[in-house]
Amino acid sequence: MNPAIPVPPEVPPAGGEPDVIIVGGGIGGLSSAFALSRQGMRVRVLERAKEFGEVGAGIQIAPNCTRILAEYGLLDEAKELGVLPENMVMRDALDSRELTRLDLRDLERRYGFPYMVIHRSDLHGIFLRACQRSGVELLTDQTVVDYEHTDDGARIRLENGRSEEAPVVIAADGLHSVARRKLVGDEVVSSDYVAYRAAVPIGTVRDNGVAEKDVTVYVGPRCHFVQYALRGGDMFNQVAVFESPKALAGKNDWGTPDELDAAFAATCDTVRKGIPLMWRDRWWQMLDRDPVETWVHGRIALLGDAAHPPLQYMAQGAIMAIEDGWVFAQHVARQSGRAAGAPDWDAVLASYEAVRVEHCRRVQSTARAWGHLWHLDGEKRLQRNEIMRGRDADDYAFTDWVYGPTALDPDEEPAMFTPIPLSSARLGGANAAGAPAPAGIGGSGTDAGAGGVVK
């Protein structure tokens, strides 16, 4: 991983107090700060860590995100740091047979922008440098412990006793958001699945039967495995996800390395060869929250994972946060118009919530269903495989609703796909036995997927 990029705490700039305070310096917070700075807003970002940085490995960004990067003038930099894979391929984790694929070059022709994979820290660094260039005030070692309403804005209180105010406060403080806990009060939801990750030199895996130019996901009973290249093809990203028996039994210490090895013991050679390469000193429990309809509380707005933390199966978590900031900034521009002075913040917040809540609810719900679909066993696994093999490769009904342009108003949100019932699959033919069949759409990993095909 790239080292964190230090940005020392500084005094506020001479330009005056901020128009917007953003709590959280992750991808969602920084991308939103940059989007607002492009609209002439004075933005202050408060990050609790001593340095700005991201932990993790690969991340996938679909056309609905690369479209925004292009508008921001950041797409070329992302291309230099990332990889443009050729295909998205889904395989059965037990026998390795192909279930479905998506030609990502054709996908780019359809949506006008590429599908890209990039190291999470590289994408974070792109937004950090953009914020530095645009004059965003970036403060580290700032732990926010409380949020309050004021007559004309909002106030945050910090661990050191200091308080700060602004017309608007955006809480982009992640899955375990302090603002979410205070304003909504709900709890995280465990899926009982856990993810292991690793990014290794490409030479480490070349003898393992990997597809260097594709994003590949192997779906198996209660597990799946993801592979794709990073950093110009010099590195290879792998993600192993499985259901934890210890979690199901209610144990606190769950998702441990012994469970990792047991979960993939019956998978195909390529997957089994990848398991010993996984980082074993850390793992990520797969958590989300139930969707909520209210993200705006007075002049405090939830954004990114604080508002809509998804399971990772659709690769839309970071993208939704980037979209949130873009939509918010677009409504700032609409409400500012040619009039002097501040935008109508209440109208901005209402418009942001009106369009983003339903879209993100759809993604969160579909991600849960998609995860269930990937991990089927027995006859249902065969039915899923049959349906996926039979899909027309030119059918984009399952991606148009999410990969198209980001809606700014509720009436711009496209209709969702129509799920295909598992019971419609006819087993007993060549496809059910694993013989070649027409290609169809697949997902692409723990941080991936194009939508739910079957139910």
CA atoms of 160 and 180, how far apart (whole Å): 21
The pLDDT tens digits of the residues spanning 259-308 come to: 999 999 999 999 999 999 999 999 999 999 999 999 999 999 999 999 99
User: To which residue do tokens 């918010």 refer?
Assistant: 328
pLDDT of residue 391: 85
Q: What is the mean pLDDT of the chain?
A: 90
CA atoms of 347 and 300, how far apart (whole Å): 13
Question: In terms of pLDDT, which residue wins out, 427 or 27?
Answer: 27
Q: Which two tokens stand for residue 238?
A: 């792998």
pLDDT surpasses 70 at 430: no
| Mean pLDDT value across residues 71-80 | 98
Name the band, by pLDDT with cuts 50, 70 and 90, for residue 431: very low
3-state secondary structure of 207: helix
Q: For the residues of 21-56, what is the DSSP string, one character each?
A: EEE--SHHHHHHHHHHHTTT--EEEE-SSSSB----
CA atoms of 156 and 148, how far apart (whole Å): 6
pLDDT surpasses 60 at 444: no
Q: Which DSSP letter does residue 241 get? A: E
Nearest alpha carbon to residue 127 among 15, 67, 52: 52
Name the band, by pLDDT with cuts 50, 70 and 90, for residue 7: very low
8 Å CB contact between 83 and 231: yes
The pLDDT tens digits of the residues spanning 374-419 come to: 999 999 999 999 999 998 888 898 899 999 999 999 999 999 988 8
Name the band, by pLDDT with cuts 50, 70 and 90, for residue 223: very high
| Mean pLDDT value across residues 115-141 | 97
pLDDT of residue 451: 41
pLDDT surpasses 50 at 447: no
CA atoms of 448 and 241, how far apart (whole Å): 12
Q: Which two tokens stand for residue 170?
A: 């955006």
303: left (phi over 0), alpha (psi -120 to 50) or beta: beta
Do strands 43-46 and 137-139 pair parallel, antiparallel, or not at all (unpaired)? parallel
The pLDDT tens digits of the residues spanning 25-74 come to: 999 999 999 999 999 999 999 999 999 988 778 999 999 999 999 999 99
pLDDT surpasses 90 at 15: no
pLDDT surpasses 80 at 333: yes
340 contacts: CB under 8 Å, gap ≥ 6: none
Name the band, by pLDDT with cuts 50, 70 and 90, for residue 452: very low
State yes or no: is 396 an active-site residue: no
| Mean pLDDT value across residues 187-196 | 97
The pLDDT tens digits of the residues spanning 335-344 come to: 986 556 789 9
pLDDT surpasses 80 at 16: no
Give me the catalytic one of 228, 313, 352, 403.
228
Name the band, by pLDDT with cuts 50, 70 and 90, for residue 20: very high
Distances (CA, A) of 255 to 56, 96, 112, 130, 280: 17, 24, 40, 37, 11
Q: Which two tokens stand for residue 318?
A: 């970071």
Name the band, by pLDDT with cuts 50, 70 and 90, for residue 4: very low
pLDDT of residue 339: 58
